[in-house]
Amino acid sequence: MARRGHRTRLHRATGSGRPWVWRTKDWLLDVTVPVFSDAAGHSSSADYTYELDRGTTSAYLDGQLLGTQNSPGRGVFQAPARFGTYRITTEATRDKPWWPTSTKVSGEWTVAPTLFADGPLGMLAVGFAPPADLRNIVPGGKEITFPVTVTRQDSPPKVTELSVEISYDDGATWQPVELSPDGPRWTAKVRNPASGFASLRAKAADDKGNAVSQTVTRAYQIG
């Protein structure tokens, strides 16, 4: 796991193309959401070996709770043998003095019914790439722009909704971020204060009924 200059997003896949969430032939819902990634886009799951991270992962089918596991970004759930709308939630908190940014990452996904019993689900993700240095610090007291992307693990999405908000008080208050279309992605424009931290949250949806809401507390430091 990269400890500096990590990009604030939930990455699209782990390992060699393994999907985030997939439904097996045995009707198990296998969830592995990597909650951190570095500036080069390499994904990383929460740390289980040294118990640096704490959090939970839950899964629902048509509003019915399938289960909750005390593992941030990770869980395996027995899923009924029927189609329906899945909702998956996860959060990871790392409260360590040597980890000043991305102190809490959370996500909630709504996944529309699929035609296949075995395969990846239509998980969306919003990616932010602010102009941070290797210490994850972004210039303060000026206007900055950065790219925003929306991906889906099984195929490119047709995005029907996207909004991004920013907070400079660890999520106590939020303000909308100006977004401009830029080909297959968007450009965000914000004006940072002179110092502090910026948190980011986003919502996105596609034309298939898939949706995501994700938040990164202290996404980057300002200075």
Does residue 198 sit within a domain?
Answer: yes
Does residue 1 sit within a domain?
Answer: no
By percentage, how much of the chain surpasses pLDDT 70? Answer: 82
- 177: DSSP letter: P
pLDDT in tens, 104-141: 899 999 998 765 556 788 899 999 899 988 888 999 99
The Cα diameter of the chain in Å comes to 55
- What contacts 24+ positions apart, CB below 8 Å, involve 190-194? 190/143, 190/144, 190/166, 191/142, 191/143, 191/144, 192/138, 192/139, 192/140, 192/141, 192/142, 192/143, 192/144, 192/222, 193/140, 193/141, 193/168, 193/222, 194/140, 194/141, 194/222, 194/223
Does residue 196 sit within a domain?
Answer: yes
Asked if pLDDT for residue 26 goes beyond 90, the answer is no
According to the model, what pLDDT value does residue 52 have? Answer: 72
Can you give the residue range of the structural domain that contains 96?
Answer: 6-222
Residues 179-196, mean pLDDT to the nearest whole number: 95
pLDDT in tens, 74-84: 899 998 877 78
Distance CA 166, CA 31 (A): 28
**64 CA to centre of own chain:** 23
Whole-model pTM: value is: 0.85
* Residue appearing with tokens 């709504």: 110
pLDDT in tens, 84-110: 899 999 998 887 777 777 788 999 999
Look at the chain and report how many structural domains it folds into.
1
Token pair for 152: 């889906």
Give the CATH number, domain containing residue 159.
Answer: 2.60.40.10
